[in-house]
Amino acid sequence: MSYLFIAIIWINHDHLMRFVGRPTLGLIWINFIHLFMVSLLPFATAWVARTRLASSAVVFYAGLFVCIDIAYNVFERNVLAQADVREVSAHIRRIARRRSLTVLAMFTTAMLIAFFAPRLSFGLICVALILHLRPDVSGSIG
C-alpha cells in the first residue's frame, strides 16, 4: 500500500509541476515539508505490519496520511494559484480542490475510526488513495 501511495504522490507531483514555470522559494519549502512527511511512511508501514493492524499503529498511519495530505493540499493550491488560467480553468481548480478536501476528510475519518476499527480504517485509507490515482481531474489537461 505504501509503495502505491508513493507512486500516486510521484504521478500527482509530476502532473502539477507541469503548471509551474520557475518554482518560488515558498513552493520549494512546501514541497520539502511534503517530502519529509512522505519519508516517515516506511516507519509507519512497518509498525502497521509488525503489529498486524493494531489500533495505535493504524491511528498513527492514518494521522500521517492526514499530515501528508495537508502538505499536498497546500502544495496543490500554490501550484494551481500560479498556473495560467488557459491551462487550468476555474472549474478544474474547483474540482481539484473538492477532491483534495474529500480525500483529507476521508483520511481524518480513517484516523478516528482506527481507534475502534483499525481494519475498516485501513480500508478507508485505501479507498481515499484511489481518488488520487488519476491526477488529471478534467480529462483534458496535458
pLDDT digits (tens, 9 = 90+) for 61-92: 999 999 999 999 999 999 988 887 777 888 88
Assess if residue 142 is contained within a domain.
no
Which residues, in sequence order, are CB contacts of 134 under 8 Å at separation 6+?
none
Cell of 34: 511534503
Assess if residue 140 is contained within a domain.
no
Q: pLDDT-derived band of residue 123, with 50, 70 and 90 as boundaries?
A: very high
The average pLDDT across 106-112 equals: 98
Assess if residue 136 is contained within a domain.
no
Assess if residue 89 is contained within a domain.
yes
- Expressed as residue numbers, the domain containing 8 is 2-130
Assess if residue 23 is contained within a domain.
yes
Assess if residue 135 is contained within a domain.
no
What pLDDT score does 140 carry? 42
Task: Check residues 142 and 33 and name the one with the higher pLDDT.
Answer: 33
Domain count, the chain: 1
Q: pLDDT-derived band of residue 138, with 50, 70 and 90 as boundaries?
A: low
What are the backbone angles phi and psi of residue 111, rounded to the nearest 5°? Answer: -65, -40
The sign of the CA dihedral 78, 138, 13, 70 is positive
What pLDDT score does 137 carry? 60
Task: Check residues 44 and 7 and name the one with the higher pLDDT.
Answer: 44
Q: Identify the CA nearest to 46 among candidates 31, 28, 60, 67.
A: 60
Assess if residue 118 is contained within a domain.
yes
Assess if residue 7 is contained within a domain.
yes
What pLDDT score does 98 carry? 92
> Is residue 139 pLDDT above 70, yes or no?
no
Task: Check residues 26 and 137 and name the one with the higher pLDDT.
Answer: 26
DSSP code, position 139? S
Q: pLDDT tens, 14-60? A: 888 888 888 889 999 999 999 999 999 999 999 999 999 999 999 99
